[in-house]
Amino acid sequence: MVGVILACSPEQTSDFAPPGPPAARASPAEPPIATAAVLERGNVEAWLDGYLPYALQRGDVAGAVVVVVKNGEILLQKGYGYADVEARIPVDPRVTLFRPGSVSKLFTWTAVMQLAEQRKLDLDRDVNQYLDFTIPPAFGAPVTLRNLMTHTPGFEEVNKNVFTSDSTGIMPLDAFLKGWVPTRIFPPGRVPAYSNYATALAGYIVQRVSGEPFEDYVERHIFAPLGMKHSTFRQPLPAPLAAAMAKGYDVASGEPKPFEVVIPGPAGSLSATGEDMGRFMIAHLQDGRYGDRKILQPETARRMHTSALTILPAVNRMVLGFYETNRNGRRAIAHAGDTYLFHTDLHLFINDGLGIYISLNSAGKDGASGAIRSALFEQFADRYLPGEETAGRVDPETAEAHARLMAGTYENSRRSESNFFSVLSLLGPAEVTVNEDTTISLGLLTGLGGEPKRWRETAPFVWREVNGKNVLSAQVESGKVVMLSGDEVSPFMMFLPTPWWRSPVWLTPLVSSAIAALLLSLLFWPIAALVRRRYRAPSPLLGRDAAAHRRMHFAAAAVLIVLLAWGASFMNMLSDISALSSEGDPWLWVLQLLSLVVLPSAAAVALWHAWVMWSGKRRWPARMWSVVLALACFTLLYVALAFKFIAFDVNY
C-alpha cells in the first residue's frame, strides 16, 4: 500500500547497516575491485544472523522473515524475532503468515497476464469494455490495463475506505470501486501516480472476465499450481490460517494492533508465509514455471518483466506490475508493500536467477522498518552481486545552471486534488535546494542520520547520489522542469513543480500569520476588557464601532473553531485507520456546511469591520489592524476554496 524507502550509503554508519569486513585501503591510482562473496546458504545465513537480530532490537521491531531463492530453489528461509511478543512465539518461515501489503499487487498483475495470454483481456483496450460501470472520459483518451499496470491511468489518490480494523462488515469490492471513481488528474500513460484504486479495478476485471470471485481465482490459478497452501487474500482469515498469523505492532515494545482489513483486496490483502512467497519468486524467476507446473507461458512472463515504461532517462522504470530496482549494473525488478503495521520488500535479479524477500511485522521506532529492509537489499546486492558502474560529469557552469533551474518546491504525483485531503500538500512539500558545490538536495531524501543527501550531475539532468549509487533524473521542456524522480523515490511516483496558486512557499507562512492574527485579536479582547475593568476605564468604542468590533471577534472565534475541528478530524483520520471510512461522512458534511457558512461570512464581517474602522475616527494602528484581520479571513477563505474544504463532497 503506502511506503517510504530509505537508503544507506556506503560511507554512513548506521544502526541498521549489515556488518561486513573492513574495506582495504587503496591508492587513488588503484581503486578497489569489488569481489562477490560466496552465495551459499551458510554464508548468507551467517551474514543475516549478524545483522537482523541487532537491527530488529535496535529498531524496536518484533519480527521478520527473510527468504532467498537461487536457481529455482529456496536457498534460505528464516524467521527472526517474534510473531507474538507476549507469548514469545518465534517467526517460522514455513508456518507464520505475514501481510506483504502491496506486494499483493504482483498476484493481481499475474492474474491479468494469465487472462491476457488466453486472449480474454487486451492490455491496450479501454477498461470500460470489461466493466459494469463507467470510468468517465478525460483528456481525450481511455484508461487501459497497461495504464493500470504501470500506475499511469492518471487517478488521484484514494484514502477513504482503504483500511479498517472492523472485519464484521467488509465493503464488497464492487461497492468500493463504484462508490467513488477518483478524478483523473493526469493524461493516461504520461505521469506515474501510484494507485490502489487502479489495482483494485484490475482485480475486479479479473473477477468479471474469469467468472470467479477474485480470491477464488488466485487460489485456483496461482496458489494451487505453486503449492502455496498457507496463503490467502480472504479477510477475515480462514480459521486454519488465523492461528498462524503474526501479530502486527507499531513498535515491538507496544501492544499488538487489530488485524488490518484492506478493503480493495487485490491491492493489498494477501497474507502469506515466507516459504510460499519463495515459491512465487521462483516461478517468476523461471519465466512462469515452478517445478513441472506453469502459471505463465515463458513469453508472457518475459513480456511482463521487460515491457518497461520510460518516462525519465537513467532512472529505474515501471514494467508491467513490477518496477525496476537495478543495482551494480544488474537488472532487478521488485515491489514493496506497506500496511500500517507490516512492511515488505521483494526483489528479483531477473537475469541472475536470484531473489530476496523480507517482511517485518512492525513499523518500528522512527520508521526503522524502512531503513532495515532497504539497507538489507542494498548491502545484499553489493555483497553478492557487485559490479562497476561508471558515471560521467558535466562541466561546472552547466551543473550550476541546471541546479538553479531545478531549485524550487515540488508536489508528489500521488496526491489528492479534488477533495480536502489536497491540503496535505502544504504540510510536506518536496524542496530542491542548491548546495555550494553545485550539487542539489531533495529535502525528503536524507541519510539515516537525517542529513540531506547530495546529488551531483553526471549527465544533462541526471544526478547521482554523492558517495552512493542511486540516481535522480528530470524532464525539462522549453527551459522548464516538467517532472523529477529517481531510484530512491520509486518509478511509480513523480515530483512535479508546484503551481504558484497552491505553493507552500507563500501559502504556509500566510496561513500561519492569518491564524495568528485572528488568535491574537481574540485573546486581546478579554484582556483589554479586564484591564478596563481593573482601572474602571470606559470602552473607547461606541455605537457602530463597538458593534463592528464585537462582530469581528465573534467571526474570528467561529473561524478558529472551524479550523480546530478540521485539524482534529485530520489528526483522527491520520492516526486511526477506521476513521478513514464512510462512517465519518455525517461529520464531514457538518464540517463542509460550517466552512460554507462561517468562512465567507467571516470574510464579509472582516471587510465591513475594516470599512467601519477606516470611515470613522479610529487611529492608524486600529485601521491597519482591521486590514490585517480582513486579509486573514480572506486568506483562510481562499485556502478553503482552493483545497476543497468547501466542496459539497465527502469523498477523499
Please state the rounded mean pLDDT for residues 274-297: 98
* Phi, psi (degrees; rounded to nearest 5) at 292: -100, 15
Does 16 score more than 70 pLDDT?
A: no
Contact 295, 222 (CB under 8 A): yes
Q: Residue 448's pLDDT band (boundaries 50, 70, 90)?
A: confident
State how far the Cα of 115 lies from the Cα of 506, in Å rounded to an integer. 50
User: Can you give the pTM of this predicted structure?
Assistant: 0.92
Q: 3-state secondary structure string, 484-526?
A: EEECCCCCCECEEECCHHHCHHHHHHHHHHHHHHHHHHHHHHH
* Pairing outcome for strands 63-70 and 354-360: antiparallel
Q: What is the pLDDT of residue 34?
A: 60
Residues ≥6 apart with Cβ < 8 Å to 140: none
Please state the rounded mean pLDDT for residues 570-596: 94
* Phi, psi (degrees; rounded to nearest 5) at 634: -70, -30
Please state the rounded mean pLDDT for residues 306-333: 97
Q: What is the pLDDT of residue 1?
A: 64
Q: What is the pLDDT of residue 651?
A: 96
Q: What is the pLDDT of residue 539?
A: 74
Residues ≥6 apart with Cβ < 8 Å to 464: 391, 455, 456, 458, 470, 471, 472
Contact 321, 149 (CB under 8 A): yes
Measuring CA to CA, how many Å separate 266 from each of 195, 235, 302, 527, 609? 12, 12, 23, 58, 56
Measuring CA to CA, how many Å separate 341 from each of 93, 165, 195, 259, 488? 18, 12, 20, 9, 22
Q: Which of 52-66, 207-221, 229-243, 570-584 has the lowest mean pLDDT?
A: 570-584
Does 630 score more than 90 pLDDT?
A: yes
Q: What is the pLDDT of residues 148-197, one digit of tens each?
A: 999 999 999 999 999 999 888 799 999 999 999 999 999 999 999 999 99
What is the b/e burial string over 46-77, where b = at least 16 CB atoms within 10 angstroms of the residue's CB?
ebbeebbeebbebbbbbbbbbbbbbeeebbbb
* Average pLDDT taken over every residue of the chain: 92
Q: What is the pLDDT of residue 388?
A: 77
Q: Which residues pair with 501 in a beta bridge?
A: none
Please state the rounded mean pLDDT for residues 45-64: 98
Burial of 567 (0-12, 13-18, 19+ CB in 10 A): exposed
Half-sphere exposure for 619 (CA within 13 Å, toward CB): 3
Does 33 score more than 50 pLDDT?
A: no
Q: What is the pLDDT of residues 55-78, one digit of tens each?
A: 999 999 999 999 999 999 999 999
